[in-house]
Structure 1
């Protein structure tokens, strides 16, 4: 390939491992049009299993994205509503007014960890304890006030899906997410080929192995182990489920769209990232985002993201970076660097334009320039759908897309872009030609007019 992308990727990984002083680093890039690229550098610390593509690392809070998918499966199956208070489904001694949506977006105000100094004792509460001890946990912020990250919140969500489905969170995440996507190297417990996690001394080249902990009832927030290859596939699924899960076995693509919409920013003054429903959204410039999650556990850091939007982005582009150092932030930064490099060095192929069938007869009289609120708007038919675009905005701004409303032949719904959710109503003359429209109730006409219906070209100023 031109620019030899794998060599550039490899150098970036080697540099990050050296700069970050990470004992073992495993990286993978996934995309629908290429074989997966996997690379490792360093030492696993496991004398029986040298570092390789099958080495397992703790992925920490990336686990939360799996729990979020389980919650949204329950919503899609009618078992809960996102605005349900948890007390509707769980018996809790306190904080029962917290809603599912607020817990998913870290805006319920729950304290960060369950009751007790679990990172001193390295003992996590059991499933029943997580709920029984809620009255001993603080609501550190008012409900809905602002973003505050909470492992406790996701522990509660894990118990919620277990109650609604029957069984345990561990059983559900395996049966309903891991197995359907073929993530065979993703497990609840570390297998024999797992890396050793370290705390690396800041002032020497020494490193101390960290203890392995079982999170018990907090497992829905950070228990899983995996490989870089599996997590790159997971990042691709979160960003582009149509390529990673085309049959929608795990979750409908529309539901993942909903999860990716920002519910909150993480800092009120620095809008550098946001949180959707269980997903981190990292803006990368105009209409480009990385969606996924980071993870940190004693001795480990991890990142898994997929890239959406922008020119040259291949379908199903995901990246994972897993490292055996609990204190090295280069692990998290590298995932974003590699996603950008993948598009820069090896963009998706440019597909040739081809002649396609014309617009349906009932929509042909819509096509072309119109006016609304005194400004031009152009309607067109591309890719088998009606769309609208303001001609004076940048070409990379996504158009509004429309779909017919069942049972109403002259009504369409805006499904994306400007005025998403609003109706477009068509008015026809005796010949069936569309002569006027109403979009979000605003009149749309072929000639520029005022709100009183008079043509702008007529003037009306009395000199």
Structure 2
């Protein structure tokens, strides 16, 4: 039943948006994949599951992943200025992190009328022209989208790996993940992109721009099936790359942390390290990216949050550069899949006894008049505040010393939890992130 709803939503988008061809895909770890194509690929070509469309700025998520791989390999640090690793005539002071998060203040496009000319500069010319580029805003002032910034990041990753951007992209991302339908140059069978006339049903083919040195920001072509798999990887990498061979789950969680807000008035969307973050309510997020090029629109997002199906990703690719419905549909597909076909509920099973040394820590505690419940689950000490939302994750602790724990996730992540013992050796209080935690709601004085 849910697949019929997904199909109907896609067909309605194609008809209402007047999109010559649309390809949509949805993948999740606990169900078979779902794919649909509606329309015509143009020029007598067959529209199929592996038909390529222009991905546009979805490309940026791949470039961001290459940079994060370089960081994890010890080749750079995110807070390094880009000029430390890439020879540039200007703007070398911008940090890699700020470029990833679109907060460097660097101008949006490379120098010159590259989009009017439909021909991008080569890599050498793009770097040389950086001398003519402006910093249009102070660094860290606000979100400011920059294709130029991401082009620089792609050439940085290529330089650190000793190849071209296309070579390192293929070697380090596309081949390991089996994304064979994502390529830098289009196949002959790729769908034709169109400009659909606003006042008639005429569709005019658009030129297939080669972005040249801007490629790391917008060049890729791909199928909806591969783009949906990539989106699932960004959201829940363990389902696509269980060994963490491409990127660790921790690194992608870091990438999904908001670094800037793209609309400071509504806070409706944010930017992490190269990924867009779209809140859906109820602590659910869609993470991925949109793409737009002449004749094409694209969207690839994964869904994460409490009680959401594992490895859920979707992509919608269309061959019209003006149908905004293409970008809206991806969110509808994800939501319908999660709500109309929720994941299976895992069975609870009993566990072994709590380690004897941790039993005295369980139960009710108080800090600043507010209650906390400390418990033992999944082999870890955990804590949940009385006022925490029901679906918020608990604080999770890892023991690092005889009387010391470290908060590894949740509330006060990174902070210490210190046990304070009475004269008889029992734990009479704790200090969490510098705050006293006691068994009674009143706050007694305790020793050091």
TM-score over 0.5 (shorter chain): yes
For 1:14-29, what aligned pairs fall within 5 Å after superposition? 14-29=11-26
Structure 1 match to 2:410: 417
SS at match of 2:311: coil
The answer to which of 374-383 and 63-72 deviates more is 374-383
How far does residue 435 in structure 1 lie from its aligned partner after superposition?
Answer: 2.5
Q: Does residue 396 in structure 1 map to residue 368 in structure 2? A: no
Q: Distance in 2 between the 1:303 and 1:451 partners? A: 56
Q: What is the match of residue 45 of structure 1?
A: 42
User: Is 1:110 the counterpart of 2:111 in the alignment?
Assistant: no
Conserved? CA contact 2:373–2:385, under 8 Å: yes
Which residue in the other structure is 1:457 paired with?
A: none
CA distance in 1, matches of 2:232, 2:354: 33
Runs of at least 4 residues of structure 1 off by over 6 A? Answer: none
Q: Give the match for residue 211 of structure 2.
A: 215
Shift of 1:452: 4.5
Confirm or deny that 1:378 pairs with 2:409.
no
1:28–1:36 CA contact under 8 A, matched in 2: yes
2: CA distance between counterparts of 1:73 and 1:231? 20
State the partner residue of 1:165: 161
Which of 256, 259, 269 is the aligned partner of 1:260? 256
Between the aligned partners of 1:126 and 1:431, the Cα distance in structure 2 is 74
Q: Secondary structure at the match of 1:110?
A: coil
Once the two structures are superposed, the pairs formed by residues 329-368 of structure 1 within 5 Å of their partners are 329-368=324-363
CA distance in 2, matches of 1:192, 1:80: 38
Q: Report the TM-score, using the length of structure 1 for normalisation.
A: 0.94
> Aligned to 1:35, what secondary structure does the other structure show?
strand
Match of 2:432 in 1: 439
Would the alpha carbon gap of residues 451 and 221 (structure 1) be closer, same or farther in structure 2, given more than 3 Å must change? farther
Alignment of 1:32 onto 2:29: yes
Match of 1:235 in 2: 231
Structure 2 residues not aligned, in runs of 5+:
none
Equivalent residue number for residue 460 of structure 1: none
Question: Alignment partner for residue 170 of structure 2, among 170, 174, 179?
Answer: 174
Task: Give runs of aligned pairs for residues 83-162 of structure 1, distance below 5 A.
Answer: 83-162=79-158
Q: Please report how far the alpha carbon of residue 374 of structure 1 lies from its aligned counterpart in structure 2 after TM superposition.
A: 2.0
Query: Matches of 1:23 and 1:395 in 2, distance apart?
Result: 45
> After superposition, what is the alpha-carbon deviation per residue over 1:302-325, rounded to whole angstroms, capped at 9, x for unaligned?
0000001033x1110000001001
Moved more, 430-439 or 142-151: 430-439
The match for 1:193 is 189
User: Paired residue for 1:291?
Assistant: 287
Q: Give the stretch that moved more between structures: 425-434 or 124-133.
A: 425-434
- Distance in 1 (CA, whole Å) between partners of 2:370 and 2:157 is 49
The whole-number CA distance in structure 2 between the counterparts of 1:371 and 1:362 is 21
Cα distance in 1, alignment partners of residues 354 and 82 from structure 2: 48
Query: Cα offset for 1:409?
Result: 3.0
Query: How far apart are residue 404 of structure 1 and its match?
Result: 2.3
Moved more, 273-282 or 184-193: 184-193
Q: How far apart are residue 87 of structure 1 and its match?
A: 1.2
Distance in structure 1 (CA, Å) of the matches to 2:425 and 2:76: 45
Indicate the residue corresponding to 2:443 in structure 1: 450
C-alpha contact 1:303 1:321 (8 A) present in aligned 2: yes
**Normalising to structure 2: TM-score of the pair?**
0.97
| SS across alignment from 2:349 | coil
Give, in angstroms, the shift of residue 363 of structure 1.
Answer: 1.4
Q: Distance in 2 between matches of 1:232 and 1:363?
A: 44
Measured in 2, the distance between the counterparts of 1:451 and 1:194 equals 72
Hey, what's the Cα distance between the residues in 1 that align with 2:426 and 2:329? Answer: 56
In structure 2, what is the Cα distance between the partners aligned to 1:261 and 1:394?
A: 20
Aligned equivalents of 2:257, 2:342: Cα separation in 1 = 25
Q: 1:79 to 1:451 in 2, by over 3 A?
A: farther
Aligned to 2:199: 203
Q: Check the 8 A contact 1:373/1:451 in 2, yes or no.
A: no
Distance in 2, Cα, partners of 1:358 & 1:126: 64
- Answer whether contact 2:224 2:316 (CA < 8 A) is retained: yes
Q: What's the CA shift for 1:451?
A: 6.4
Deviation, 1:384, is 2.2
Deviation, 1:453, is 5.6
Aligned-pair CA distance for 1:110: 1.0
Cα shift readout 1:275-330 (whole Å, capped 9, x = no counterpart):
0000000000021100000001111110000001033x111000000100111110
1-structure distance, mates of 2:345, 2:423: 44
